[in-house]
Amino acid sequence: MDGTVSRKTSGARLWFVFHGWLALPIWAFLFFVCLTGSIATVSHEIMWLANPEVRANAPSSDARLLSYDEIMAAVEREEPGARVRFISRPVKSMFALNVAVTRPDGNSARLFVNPYTGAVQGEQGAFDFRRFVRALHAWLLMPFDGGFPIGWYAVSALAIPLLGSLITGIVVYKRFWRVYLRPRLRVSKGRRIFWGDLHRLAGAWSIPFIAIMAVTGGWFLIQAILGDNHISISTAGVPPVVSRSDVPAVDKGAPAPRITLEQAAEAVRHQLPDLEPSFVQFPSSAYDHISVGGRGSYPLIFESVDVNPYNGKVERTRRVSDRSALELVTGSMRPLHTGDFAGIWLKLVYLVFGLALTTLVFSGMMVWTKRTAIETVKVVRERRQARLGLEAAE
């Protein structure tokens, strides 16, 4: 009887060891995603440090930002014949403007333009460091081919165990709030004690951040499922077009008279004074509007305005109040996940907590690996002793 119980116990422990080693790749994958996500949070700032072309250096302390029309004129001087399609002002004033142009030969480019002088400082590469890190973190560099890639699903699915770990961690770790008042990190009690203390410390301090990452990551999984099944929750409706009667008749090959960008921005400011325009998109045809957008009182969602390019009338607004409650929630997911909506200080806060989450995963992986390794040694010894006992009995 005792032998039967012993064999059952040994078998259960063997399965526990298998379970431990099979879970290790998940730990390693989660660690990789957390680490690349932390780097992606400040990838734009890393480019700013490494590449002077990305910086918005003012020539003097009292230099003013150029208007959209002045930027257009400066780009035309440096890129004769190029057609400007898009002008974007980054959230952080330390960065150069991003100007998308189409050159006379038909090639497209994105230029770094100094917002104080209008100088074209450089050209954005097709796949720069920022895009590389974000693609590596979000979808493992797998190509989009008719839908969301497998990498997107693999990364976003980690939100499920992350949320489960948060809930079970709070349940298991009783009175976790004591860590805030009396943090403990024992460095002289052995590696297992050290990694256990670090795991609890990083986990307690990262609870709000983990919740944000788990919920927003879960939305990315839902977004992929909806997108691949062609299900939309948007209430935007059909894109508007300029009335045919507003389009002036001109001679063949002659440009149609249009308002300037600054006039369009001024029309937006007059009707929506709380909206700070941060990007302008040019019409792609005679019946397209000038699209002006930016953040208003609710900084997580961009609001946009369509301006008639011939008479300057604001013909459509897409504000926060125009969205459904579901759109407000889902539209807030990406900026909440990246922290790219309130300037450099918020990005640094996200970086700190991102590294804390990375440390949390790494310390958990070390504790798990140590425990699994100890159990593996025990199982190997028990099975060796059992085999020796059988040999002696024979």
In this predicted structure, what is the pLDDT of residue 1? 46
- The answer to whether 91 and 342 are in contact (CB under 8 A) is yes
Q: How deeply is 226 buried, as exposed, middle or buried, from its count of CB atoms within 10 A (0-12, 13-18, 19+)?
A: middle
361 within domain boundaries: yes
- The answer to whether 65 and 116 are in contact (CB under 8 A) is yes
Q: From residue 166, how far is each of 72, 206, 335, 354 by CA, in Å?
A: 50, 10, 21, 15
- The range of the structural domain enclosing residue 170 comes to 11-48+130-232+342-377
SS3 call for 364: helix
User: Phi and psi at residue 300, in whole multiples of 5°?
Assistant: -80, -15
- Cα separation, 119 vs 74, whole angstroms: 7
Q: What is the DSSP string of 297-351?
A: SSTTSEEEEEE-TTT--EEEEE-GGGS-HHHHHHHTHHHHHH-TTS-HHHHHHHH
- Cα separation, 40 vs 60, whole angstroms: 32
In this predicted structure, what is the pLDDT of residue 394? 61
Residues 6+ apart with CB under 8 A from 198: 185, 359, 363
In this predicted structure, what is the pLDDT of residue 93? 79
- Cα separation, 272 vs 286, whole angstroms: 25
In this predicted structure, what is the pLDDT of residue 13? 59
In total, the chain counts a number of residues equal to 394
In this predicted structure, what is the pLDDT of residue 14? 60
User: Phi and psi at residue 266, in whole multiples of 5°?
Assistant: -65, -35
Residues in the chain, pLDDT under 50:
1-2, 4-5, 8
In this predicted structure, what is the pLDDT of residue 256? 73
Of 98, 102, 66, give the one whose Cα is nearest residue 84.
102
307 within domain boundaries: no
- Cα separation, 304 vs 323, whole angstroms: 12
SS3 call for 30: helix
387 within domain boundaries: no
349 within domain boundaries: yes
192 within domain boundaries: yes
- The answer to whether 162 and 360 are in contact (CB under 8 A) is no
347 within domain boundaries: yes
165 within domain boundaries: yes
Q: How many structural domains does the chain have? A: 1
Which residue has tokens 């700070």? 276
In this predicted structure, what is the pLDDT of residue 102? 93
- 178-226 residue pLDDT tens: 888 888 888 888 877 888 888 888 888 899 999 999 999 999 999 999 9
21 within domain boundaries: yes
State the amino acid at position 309 in one-letter form: P
- Cα separation, 12 vs 178, whole angstroms: 36
